[in-house]
Structure 1
Amino acid sequence: MDILKTAFTPPAPVPRTGPVGTLQLIRTIYRNPLELWGEPSYNEPWVSIDWSFAHTIIANDPGLIRHVLVDNAKNYKMAAVRQRILRPILRDGLLTAEGDTWKRSRKAMAPVFTPRHINGFATSMQRATENFAERYDGHSGITDVSRDMTMLTYDILAETLFSGEIAGDPDQFSHEVDRLFETMGRVDPFDLLGAPEWLPRFTQIRGRRALAFFRQIVANTIEMRKARMDKEGDKVPNDFLTLLLRAEGPDGLSRAEIEDNIITFIGAGHETTARALGWTLYLLARAPWERELIEQEIDTFMDQRDMPPPHEWLDALPFTRAAFEEAMRLYPPAPSINREPIEDDQYQDLKLPKGSAVLVMPWTVHRHRLYWDQPDAFIPSRFHPENRGKIDRFQYLPFGAGPRVCIGASFALQEAIIALAVLLHRYRFDMASSVKPWPVQKLTTQPNGGLPMSVIARR
């Protein structure tokens, strides 16, 4: 691949070179799983490890990933450890449901995420971002852009999928999201050791208040919309919330499944895009030559007399999109995809025993030395139109792949490019002093300590 030699290498854990004891393993997985992986994980097509609690296979080879997630997907279920972490939060939401429950939810939501519907959200995405951006007017000092992007994507989610009708205070929401992922979003040592489910998990105990907060938001939101549906009938917005409530019934979704899917999209659906936007702004601040290229692209586009409607921005801003996609390569919002073979399986000479843990990790695949030039460097030109066709479909997995690919991928891409275009046209984001944010896995890839940045008006 013909890429620029000038590149910024952002902070990331250095691959381990030695063995890991059981106690150290559990401590590292609890604190930050991204710090666990050794040199073979970034150099070999696959790695088999016999840990004390599970036989684990790290799948990096694109062909193997396709085999697990697509070609033989019916033989793989969600990994037990992953379910023990996520199900207490999301229960039967789309990310954690399996079998018929998953099929019902996916079918119920599919109409919302068709290209026609997503294009229809674009104007609301632009308006929500412009309203949010006003808080930066006249701003001086430092702001945590990581938290800001959480609030922005919450505003966009509320405006589009819920037509502005999510109960609760957005500022409190941002705080409780951080608390929820800090506690219940981590692997509990009891889960790794396979302790009985009746044993209390310390992480879950600490996160109960935050989870109760989200459950209350969902209950209040549903009651608000149900009351409006009873009063106004077909005049209510035909959005995500209405569609789910109309799918309730014996042959559709139960009320509990509706609540679980709402909390999945409020809690996790916006969080991934927020993290990717924050990392993009950070990386551009550290690579001003890339930022200048994108500012020029955005300024030229936004200053047109007859600017295209916002649903066309994604295709019209290829350099902006490339920077966002490169940020998701380096800091994938969902850094790990966990599967478990239902029956013994084999790919080439690799055996995948029933019940083993199969880890498809965008974190290692996206930084793998067999598949990327300068894998640790921020080089958006990898994703420029003339280069992106050289990237294997199963080498780049920010939204997963196969039957369980993220249903909101197109929504997130459109949202991100509209947000970046509005923000970078009006402001320049610079890092505060010598801050080096450290990536930590808490369901999503988060910057430890946030992203303290200055925001300067460009016009």
Structure 2
Amino acid sequence: MDAVPAPFVPPAPKPRTKPPSLLQMLRIVYRNPLELWGEPSYNEKWISISTGVGGPLVIANDPGLIRHVLVDNAKNYKMARVRQKILRPILRDGLLTAEGDVWKRSRKAMAPVFTPRHINGFAAPMLRRTEAFAERYEGETDTVDVARDMTMLTYDILAETLFSGEIAGEPGSFAKQVDHLFETMGRVDPLDLLGAPDWLPRFTRIRGARTMAFFRRLVADTARMRKEKLERDPEGTPNDFLTLLLKAEGPQGLSREEIADNIITFIGAGHETTARALGWTLYCLAEAPWERDRVEAEIDAVLAREPDPVKWLDAMPVTRAAFEEAMRLYPPAASISREAIEDETYEDLHIRKGAQIQVMPWTVHRHRKLWDNPEAFMPERFLPENRDRIDRFQYLPFGAGPRICIGASFAMQEAVIALGVLLSRFRFDTVAETKPWPVQKLTTQPEGGLPMRVTPRARKSD
């Protein structure tokens, strides 16, 4: 009888054993916030501290407290100042950063695109774009950067489904600009952490100014092209995400600037989270070939009997579990930040007005009181028979509450279709240079990329 292999433990920062100095903290937060968290963050229900910068801080790891902040008493919490200072210069009043009536109007305008019926309708174009993308691996002999490739794939899918293939500009230059955006403006600026006045120039924003100008031009050109098409041929214009946004302009809907902000939000960030999760999934499966064998066997069996990609998400529980486990270990959004509007108490925790509440999927997903063997890649946690053991608020890849990611179902369908196509045709293996290190730059990215070897699979049916 074959021995069961020990689970693969992918790379991650070791919890700190002593708190950093203020200078060390500023450096760590700028370079990689994932390296900041100490042993208590992985063991305690919550931690309440006075940071010396930005007021009191509560790190919330307890599912009950997380539910309280994000759902039960969400009205007492607004977006945290530091988070907004990072994201608002990029997204302005896009869905991720808007608050109050602006957020409600944006969410209402976009909701029709993300109904189950619409998402099911995206399955066929998702399949087509992934099949076309997979052609690039035919005859490939060089090592490829899978992290970059997944960014390009999810961009192709987003452009095809939400924008009907009508985003201005060239995809190659877009990918470079996204990388630069996350490298510059996607970092926490030390001046924001220290609460410096807004008139002081931020180094991160200065470095990212040209990239932001690129995205604003791209959005303006994309909107102009679609408006011209709507005027020229209203019946023949796709009724997609872009058209719905443009039609929402008006006194009771969205302003022209809010429409532009939401286009930037979805073009610039809407594909990025899924791309990162796909890359980490392929990496973890390559390092745990016994898990990859199960996924490949499931995909082969489903594709042999079920051509309709709408049904793949339900038909591929093992594949879905591998993707969800990769998102547990490397949550696309590693932190969710709120700020208390008024004083309140949860159990024996007093939360002061102005306190910054950090819900850290990174630490919650690796918390030792919530998970068995939390550092290991173990997809079986997410198989249907085991899901009841996972509290709704201990697993937060898409957030929770009123501001849960509007595209969560879109992303899950997209991921399983992409994995179904790619892993049915090719095997992804790590090479000597594959030494990723998780770094938080808005999303959880593999520093150094994911260099991998991609080879055709010899399937049983071949």
| C-alpha distance in 2 between matches for 1:178 and 1:241 | 24
Identity of aligned residues (%): 72
Report what 1:444 is aligned to: 443
| C-alpha distance in 2 between matches for 1:47 and 1:358 | 10
Q: What displacement does 1:434 show? A: 5.3
Report what 1:142 is aligned to: 143
1:227 counterpart = 2:222 = no
| C-alpha distance in 1 between matches for 2:93 and 2:286 | 39
Q: What displacement does 1:252 show? A: 0.4
Q: What displacement does 1:213 show? A: 1.0
Q: What displacement does 1:211 show? A: 1.0
| C-alpha distance in 2 between matches for 1:434 and 1:231 | 52
Report what 2:121 is aligned to: 120
| C-alpha distance in 2 between matches for 1:165 and 1:248 | 20
Report what 1:25 is aligned to: 25
Report what 1:364 is aligned to: 363
| C-alpha distance in 2 between matches for 1:358 and 1:349 | 16
User: Which amino acid in 2 is paired with 1:117?
Assistant: H
| C-alpha distance in 2 between matches for 1:434 and 1:187 | 29
| C-alpha distance in 1 between matches for 2:172 and 2:319 | 28
| C-alpha distance in 1 between matches for 2:377 and 2:337 | 26
User: Which amino acid in 2 is paired with 1:380?
Assistant: P
Q: What displacement does 1:357 show? A: 0.8
Report what 1:44 is aligned to: 44
Report what 1:186 is aligned to: 187
Report what 1:79 is aligned to: 80
Q: What displacement does 1:303 show? A: 1.9
| C-alpha distance in 2 between matches for 1:333 and 1:80 | 21
| C-alpha distance in 2 between matches for 1:323 and 1:388 | 13
Please list the CA deviations of residues 400-458 of structure 1 after superposition, one character each: whole Å capped at 9, or x if unmatched: 00000000000000000000000000000011115320000000000001000010011
Q: Which runs of 5+ in 2 are unaligned?
A: none
| C-alpha distance in 1 between matches for 2:278 and 2:246 | 31
8 A Cα contact 2:322 2:379, kept in partner: yes
| C-alpha distance in 2 between matches for 1:433 and 1:216 | 40
User: Which amino acid in 2 is paired with 1:11?
Assistant: P
Report what 1:253 is aligned to: 254
8 A Cα contact 2:435 2:448, kept in partner: no
User: Which amino acid in 2 is paired with 1:175?
Assistant: K
| C-alpha distance in 2 between matches for 1:282 and 1:152 | 16
Report what 1:34 is aligned to: 34
Q: What displacement does 1:233 show? A: 1.1
For 1:253-402, list aligned pairs within 5 A. Answer: 253-304=254-305, 307-402=306-401
Report what 1:195 is aligned to: 196
Report what 2:431 is aligned to: 432
| C-alpha distance in 2 between matches for 1:68 and 1:376 | 26
| C-alpha distance in 2 between matches for 1:400 and 1:234 | 37
Report what 1:458 is aligned to: 457
Q: What displacement does 1:48 show? A: 1.1
Runs of 4 or more above 3 Å deviation: none
Q: What displacement does 1:11 show? A: 0.3
Please list the CA deviations of residues 38-76 of structure 1 after superposition, one character each: whole Å capped at 9, or x if unmatched: 000000000112111021110000000000000000000
| C-alpha distance in 1 between matches for 2:179 and 2:433 | 24
Q: What displacement does 1:394 show? A: 0.2
Q: Which runs of 5+ in 1 are unaligned?
A: none
| C-alpha distance in 2 between matches for 1:74 and 1:330 | 30
8 A Cα contact 2:433 2:451, kept in partner: no
C-alpha RMSD of the superposition: 0.8
1:212 counterpart = 2:228 = no
Report what 1:99 is aligned to: 100
Q: What displacement does 1:20 show? A: 1.2
TM-score (norm 1): 0.98
| C-alpha distance in 2 between matches for 1:70 and 1:91 | 24
| C-alpha distance in 2 between matches for 1:365 and 1:24 | 24
User: Which amino acid in 1 is paired with 2:355?
Assistant: S
TM-score (norm 2): 0.97
User: Which amino acid in 2 is paired with 1:377?
Assistant: A
Q: What displacement does 1:6 show? A: 2.8
Please list the CA deviations of residues 138-176 of structure 1 after superposition, one character each: whole Å capped at 9, or x if unmatched: 101100000000000000000000000001111111111
| C-alpha distance in 2 between matches for 1:313 and 1:223 | 37
| C-alpha distance in 2 between matches for 1:194 and 1:5 | 49
| C-alpha distance in 2 between matches for 1:418 and 1:374 | 29
Q: What displacement does 1:234 show? A: 2.7
| C-alpha distance in 1 between matches for 2:254 and 2:217 | 20
Q: What displacement does 1:398 show? A: 0.1
8 A Cα contact 2:15 2:37, kept in partner: yes
| C-alpha distance in 1 between matches for 2:303 and 2:211 | 40
Q: What displacement does 1:308 show? A: 4.1
Q: How many residues align?
A: 454
| C-alpha distance in 2 between matches for 1:347 and 1:20 | 28
1:172 counterpart = 2:179 = no
User: Which amino acid in 2 is paired with 1:82?
Assistant: R
| C-alpha distance in 1 between matches for 2:327 and 2:211 | 27
User: Which amino acid in 2 is paired with 1:441?
Assistant: Q
Please list the CA deviations of residues 191-236 of structure 1 after superposition, one character each: whole Å capped at 9, or x if unmatched: 0111110111000000111111111111110011001000011321
Partner SS for 1:303: helix
| C-alpha distance in 2 between matches for 1:203 and 1:232 | 43
